[in-house]
Homo-oligomer: A and B are copies of this chain.
Amino acid sequence: MHVKILCLGVLTLGEASGYEIKKEIEEGVFTHFIEASFGSIYPALTQLHADGLVTVRAQEQTGRPDKKVYALTGAGRQALTKALSVLPAKDKFKSEFLFQMLMSDYLKPDMLLAAIDRQLAHLREDLTGIEECQCAEMPLSGARFVADYGRAVLTASVSYLEQKRAELSSPSHPQAAE
């Protein structure tokens, strides 16, 4: 998905600078299923402005660099709606972790547990991230839907991994349980 549409989406929450948009994407509800770097956000914002989909306002700040605060225009809202009127592409999920698990025959034994523990740590981080971002406070009714979806999926992953991890590290049955 285009970073431009993403920016329009974030701006529906209220005006923001490029820096703030990045933060919102990194820490807000978007975190788990979208990524964007400054290198793509700033150019996107510039172009969005050129296309008349957002307005800019320079905001001076004491002690801090000046901000460029962007806000949606009517045309911007329309462009967003139009982009949302198409059925979304299929989710993309890429996991080096699962590749390693699949290839576990070629893995050093200690790496197996280490990789699982790392994965568990990541998943738990994401889970607490969802709890912390107060989705109820957001002006988007979809926020809870998304947060709950994330919670459901992450919880299932954690449960599965915890169970498998226990099996693997149990002293009695290191490999065969059948």
Contact = CB atoms under 8 A, between A and B. Distances in A.
Interface in A124-154: 140-143, 145-146, 148-149, 152-153
B97 A88 contact: yes
Classify the interface of chain A: helix, strand, loop or mixed.
Answer: helix
Give the interface size bracket for A toward B: 35 or more
Contacts of A145: 101-102, 104, 164
B157 A95 contact: no
A164 to B, nearest CB: 7
Interface of A: 1, 6, 9, 12, 29-30, 32-35, 77, 80-81, 84-85, 87-108, 111, 114-115, 118-119, 122, 140-143, 145-146, 148-149, 152-153, 155-157, 159-161, 164
